[in-house]
Structure formats: structure tokens, C-alpha cells
Structure 1
Amino acid sequence: MTAVDHLSVWLRVRRRADWQRAPVLRRGPCGRDGFRAWCEGPVRERSPVRAERLLAAYALARKDAVHRTPLDFTVLAGWQRAVLGTTEAPFRSADAYAKAGRERYALTTRTRARFDACLREATDPRLTPAARAARAYLDVAFFHPFTDGNARAALLTLVHVLAREDIVLPEVGPLQTTRYADDPAGAADLAVLIAVLNRRCSEGRQVTTSGSGARQSPPRGGTSIDGTGTPGVSPP
């Protein structure tokens, strides 16, 4: 397993990624709730229990968005208890690994405080909602706060950030490709992809690509941001 701390790598990339190129999103009603459709479709086909848990967590995330609840680990842990069907969802107690050990996210005495500080930036008005949602998604991916279910936590965080701005995406499947901690172009590209999906809300079309700026994941042999699941795709 790698000795490199990819969380530190991400924190450097986070500062230099071109978040300013993220387009402005269209607010307002969308004819299709992509997260709910994902839960009712592929997730339910895989596991009805997992689908119900995700939908329960989604309801909590949207409620917190309506109430403008400040985003931090405690809030995410509440969603994660619903996701996992557990009474506890503590912050991880050791280094975390993903992508078959190729990325390591170190744990120090400051990790949780840094995570909370990054999550607080999810309401930074200097960036568009697309940039903030993408950055928060990647923060969860690379801080890897939980021992299980980080891909689901990252996606819930993304839809929560958008819901605070009255934005619902018609699809979430294209968001769930492997992301790398050392890829600033890929980070910015995720924000652009969110904007592309947002436009499809009114155009009624589907998106099948993650964009051109990100480092492309291998179609076979890759791993999710959880380090498990279908090769190259984050598990539901």
C-alpha cells in the first residue's frame, strides 16, 4: 500500500483547482429527481433494504437543506446512520485506503477539524453551487470520514449542497466515476459535469460521459472511492 498521504495531496489540489470555471446553475423545479430515481432503480434492484436506507438518508439531507443546517461531520454522521442502518457512525480511527491501496488518507489529530472546516466552505458565496457541490463531494471522498459507505456519503453531500440552492439534478449516475486525489482538472471537470446535468433537467436528455477534463478511469480494473464495488464505478 502507498506511503503517500493522498488527503494532503487533495488539500493542495483543492486550493489550486480552477473552481471559477464552473458554470452557473439553473434553479427551480426539475421534472425528475435523479437521486430518488437512482435509489428506486439500480439501487433497489441490487438491494431493497439499501434503497430504503438511502431514501431515508436523502430525506434527512433535504430536510437539513431546507433548514439551512450548517454542514459538518455531525450532520453527515446522522445521514450515515440512516445509510448503514446503525446507531453509530463515528469518524474513522485509522488511516483509510481506496483504489486497492493506491490511495491512502492519513489520520492525524487535526483531520476531523480540517474536514469540518472544508465542509463549512460548502456555502461560500464566492463560488457557484456547482463548484461548491463538486468540492464538497470530493472532500468527503478524500477525507474518507467513515469506515464504510463514503461513496454514498459523498453523493448525499453533493445533492444536499445543491438542494440548499433549490437545485435538483435529473441524473446522478454519471457523477459516480472514480476520482483521483491528485487530479485538479478532474476536480474542476466534476463541477462542469454537474452543470451539464443541470441543463439536461429542462432539455430532457441523458448524459453518458463524465466530461473531457478529468483523468479517465479504466473501464475495468478500477475501484470506487470506497475502494469496493463495481470496477471503475462508485457503489450505491
Structure 2
Amino acid sequence: MTATDSLSAWLRVRREADWQSAPALRRCPPGRDGFQSWCKGPVRLRDPHRAQRLLAAHALSLTDAARRAPLDFALLAGWQREVLAATRAPFRTSDAYAKAGRERYGLTPHTQADFDSCLRETTDPEIPLAARAARAYLDVAFFHPFTDGNARAALLTLVHVLAREGITLPEVEPLQTTRYADDPAGAADLAALIGVLNRHRP
């Protein structure tokens, strides 16, 4: 039996989640960059080459944030080429699966355009920044645009959305827990966690 389309479930949750309850974020003096610390710490211990590629992609994403480049699949693909050390990072051409096949992300002729439409909403001033960053992370996770490295792409996207507004989280490891496409409370909790990390200064 074909698994339920979890992308469709996410698009429903995306409309229903309580994004407005997300905490306000504050700009802090420059300090620890949690993404860089994660790369230079646990990621480098496991795989130095993976860490170096992630740091290169992160540098690109920060440059794009500083110039306020429109966030779309093409921008993410540029980062992803660094992440995967690949010459191309095309949008997937078939259904994708995660969580040992328990989640299936369908593909239609409109999926890539829908993804870009969702990413454009990261500049919506009516939605709190923490919610926009969380929602973009989950958009990447559940649209699952790449054949590999979507979790890394999701985290880079979250960090980029915050960087555009001058926010750098001192930690990112707590963000990397399993998320489910049909869980509106979990989506709101991710935004709340961004707020907690924003207030924490190690």
C-alpha cells in the first residue's frame, strides 16, 4: 500500500499551525555562531570533509543573507552543491521517502513552484521571525527537494532566514530532532525552541 502523501499533510499543517504564538527574537552582540561551532565540533569529529563542506555552504548562505538575495530553490541548490561537493543539485524527479519509508513526499508538476512560493513567505512581516525560520526549515524537510542532504539544507535555510534579520543562534544542535509532517504542535514547538536558543548565551 502506498504511504500517505506527507507533503500534502505538511501543507495542511502549515496553514493550521499557530505561528503567531512564536516568541519575539532579539538581536544580541556578536558572539558564538552555533552553526560554525557545530561544524567545527561534532561534525568535524565524525567527518572533517563534511564539516568543511558545510562551512563553505554556510559562508555562501551568509553572503546571500547580507545581500538579501531572494530565497528560492536556485539559491538553496547553490549551497547544496557545496554541501555535497557536486556540480549539480537538481530538484528531485520522483517521490521521496524518509523515516524508513513511513513518510512519503509526493511529486507533481507543481511541486517545485509550490516550494518556491513557500520560501518567498520567509519575508512576510506578518509572521514572527522565529516562525518564519521554523516554517522554512520544515518546508525543506517535507518538500524534500534534494535526493540527498535535505536535513543539512533545512538547517542552512533556517540559519539563513535568521541571518537576514541579524540573528545568530549560539547553538543549533537542539534543533535537529525528528519532526513529523502531520504535527502542528511540533511545528509551533520548533519556533518556540528558536526563541529559547536566541535567549541562551553559552
Q: Give the TM-score normalised by the residue count of structure 2.
A: 0.98
Q: Which has the higher helix share?
A: 2
CA distance in 2 between counterparts of 1:2 and 1:169 reads 39
CA-to-partner distance for each residue in 1:47-86, whole Å, 9 max, x for gaps? 1100000000000000000000000000000000000000
Shift of 1:129: 1.0
CA distance in 2 between counterparts of 1:29 and 1:5 reads 43
For residue 97 of structure 1, give the secondary structure of its aligned residue in structure 2. Answer: strand
CA distance in 2 between counterparts of 1:29 and 1:162 reads 15
Shift of 1:30: 3.8
CA distance in 2 between counterparts of 1:187 and 1:53 reads 28
CA distance in 2 between counterparts of 1:29 and 1:54 reads 24
Structure 1 stretches lacking a partner, 5+ long: 205-236
> 1:101 — aligned with what?
101
| Residues 30 and 170 in structure 1, CA contact (< 8 A), matched pair in contact too | no
Structure 2 stretches lacking a partner, 5+ long: none
> 1:216 — aligned with what?
none
> 2:38 — aligned with what?
38
Which segments of structure 1 move beyond 4 Å, counting only runs of 4 or more? none
Letter in 2 for 1:151: A
| Residues 29 and 168 in structure 1, CA contact (< 8 A), matched pair in contact too | no
For residue 104 of structure 1, give the secondary structure of its aligned residue in structure 2. Answer: strand
| Residues 14 and 184 in structure 2, CA contact (< 8 A), matched pair in contact too | yes
Letter in 2 for 1:70: P
| Residues 13 and 182 in structure 2, CA contact (< 8 A), matched pair in contact too | yes
CA distance in 2 between counterparts of 1:145 and 1:194 reads 23
Residues 143-162 of structure 1 aligned to structure 2 (within 5 Å): 143-162=143-162
> 1:187 — aligned with what?
187
| Residues 119 and 136 in structure 2, CA contact (< 8 A), matched pair in contact too | yes
Q: Give the TM-score normalised by the residue count of structure 1.
A: 0.84
CA distance in 2 between counterparts of 1:144 and 1:94 reads 11
| Residues 3 and 102 in structure 2, CA contact (< 8 A), matched pair in contact too | no
> 1:209 — aligned with what?
none
CA distance in 2 between counterparts of 1:49 and 1:29 reads 31
CA-to-partner distance for each residue in 1:183-210, whole Å, 9 max, x for gaps? 0000000000000000003xx3xxxxxx
Identity level (%):
76
Between 1 and 2, higher relative CO (CA 8 Å, sep ≥ 6) is seen in 2
